[in-house]
Each structure stands twice: as C-alpha cells, then as structure tokens.
Amino acid sequence: MKLVVVKLGGSAITDKKRKFTPRHGVIRNLARDVKKLSEKFQLILIHGGGSFGHPVAREYEIHKGLFSKKQTLGYSKVRYYMTMLNQVVLEQMIDEGVPAVTLHTSNITTARNGKIASMDIDRILRYLNLGMVPILYGDAVLDLERGFCIISGDQIVSYLALSLKPWKVVLGTDVDGIYSKDPKKDSEAELIPVFSISRIERIKAEKPEIDVTGGIIAKILEMRKVVEAGIPVVIGNITVKQGLLKLVKGETPKYTKIVV
C-alpha cells in the first residue's frame, strides 16, 4: 500500500477566532475520509494547533525557548491543550471505525535549536505495519539547546516525508490552496495551481497573519527539501465534504501543487 502523509491544518480543524474551539463537523467529515482512504493507503496524520496551541504558545513565548521560569507553566499549558485537541480528533477517528493511535510528539521527539533532532520513526512504522493510523501533532518539546521549543506540524510533515519517502504529502487547510493575496481579505486573490518555492518572495502575505510557527511562508519553505526529494506535495481545502479524500486521490480541480 502507498504511504500518504497528511497534515490536518489548525485553521481547518479549529475556529482560530475562538480559543479552544474545535470544528467538530469538519473533524467528523475528515474521519470519514480517513476511513475510506485507509482501505487503500497507509496514512500518517499530523494535525496543527489552531486555537488550542497557538494562543498559549504566543502568550508564554514558548517558541523562543526557555528564558523565564514563568514559561514552564506555559509549556505545561501548551502540552495540555494540544492533548485536548488531539483527543477530539482521535475520538472522531475511532467513532468512524479508524484504528487510529496517537503518538504524542513530545514523547517521541527531541529538538535542537528549534528543529527536530530525533524522532522515534521505528515506533511509527510498527503501528503502520499493524494496519493502524498513527497521529502526531505540533507541540512543545524538549530542546537540547533552548530548553524547550515549539515543533510545528509542518516540521513533522517534512521530517517524516524525508525519512519515509511517502507517495504523496497532503497539506490540508481551510482554503483551496496558495493564493496571490489573502483570499479571506481580498476578492481579487487568485488561486495558484502550481507554486514554485523559488518565487516565494512574490507571496503577498500580510505579516499579522503569521503565527508562532511561521505562517504560510514557513509552511512552504518547510516543504523545500520534500519537493527537492521528488515527493509530490499538494495543499488544498479539507473543510469541504470529501475534501481530503479528493486531494489524496487527485480528484479535486482546486488545489496547489508545490514545486521547486
């Protein structure tokens, strides 16, 4: 069976305007898609933090590493709220009959200066070989130099892709792909079907939208090594019915393929 690494973006599975608010309907539909896909593909799911992880990480500046004792409570809170969101995702998967299992990122990952230094890939493979669907998520993890840091879901995606060489990487979000401008603010924004990383300076993204894991620019740059390795990377809307199913199968007309 072909392996697909899937990112369930925080903007898709949570309401980013309301703290700690999951989009239950979206998650339920995604679980149904995963159930169908798991019959033909091996899947690894990675979900973002959305309105659960980002507000707390920003408040305590966890992404900057340990510089104040007060941050240790913030680290605990990030871990707590990300586990809470993960439980929502996991529950929906199980309710739809998906044999999903969470591998808590902070327990199998060590960082160095804000980047993944090591991850227990063997444990992930063991679950895959049992026919299960591993779930990881962006999280606060221990860092050998900074004390701790934030490892984004996109970092996990690229690390796993380079380690496991999947058939395809799918980045799910709440819009149809990469646009010339912010489609939520500008009606003249145009979908870019094929986006070249070498032209990233042309992205007309607004800085206020950049989150603690770097926003759309960091997301695209994180995929550079993945596409350079010859692994297809697509980004599209997973909030619509069968959005993930069609993205994986290549049956949706609206998406962006990321190339070098």
What pLDDT, on the 0 to 100 scale, is given for residue 183?
85
What pLDDT, on the 0 to 100 scale, is given for residue 201?
59
Rounded to an integer, what distance in angstroms lies between the CA atom of residue 4 and that of residue 167? 6
What pLDDT, on the 0 to 100 scale, is given for residue 153?
96
Which positions of the chain have pLDDT values less than 70? 201-215
- Give 171's Cβ-side CA count (13 Å radius): 28
What pLDDT, on the 0 to 100 scale, is given for residue 184?
83
Rounded to an integer, what distance in angstroms lies between the CA atom of residue 44 and that of residue 119? 14
Rounded to an integer, what distance in angstroms lies between the CA atom of residue 119 and that of residue 159? 9
pTM exceeds 0.75, yes or no: yes
CATH class of 2-259: alpha beta
CA-based R_g, the chain, Å: 17
Domain ranges of the chain: 2-259
Rounded to an integer, what distance in angstroms lies between the CA atom of residue 179 and that of residue 235? 11
What pLDDT, on the 0 to 100 scale, is given for residue 248?
97
**Torsion over CA of 255, 154, 57 and 47, rounded to 10 degrees?**
70
> Do strands 147-151 and 139-143 pair parallel, antiparallel, or not at all (unpaired)?
antiparallel
What pLDDT, on the 0 to 100 scale, is given for residue 215?
64
What pLDDT, on the 0 to 100 scale, is given for residue 179?
87
What pLDDT, on the 0 to 100 scale, is given for residue 204?
45
**Closest-CA residue to 39 (of 119, 114, 97):** 97
CA–CA–CA angle 166, 235, 255 (5° rounding): 120
CA–CA–CA angle 148, 12, 15 (5° rounding): 80
What pLDDT, on the 0 to 100 scale, is given for residue 216?
75
What pLDDT, on the 0 to 100 scale, is given for residue 199?
75
What pLDDT, on the 0 to 100 scale, is given for residue 203?
54
User: What is the tens place of the pLDDT at every residue in 51-92?
Assistant: 999 899 999 999 999 999 999 999 999 999 999 999 999 999
183's tokens: 């489609």
**Closest-CA residue to 222 (of 136, 139, 159, 145):** 159
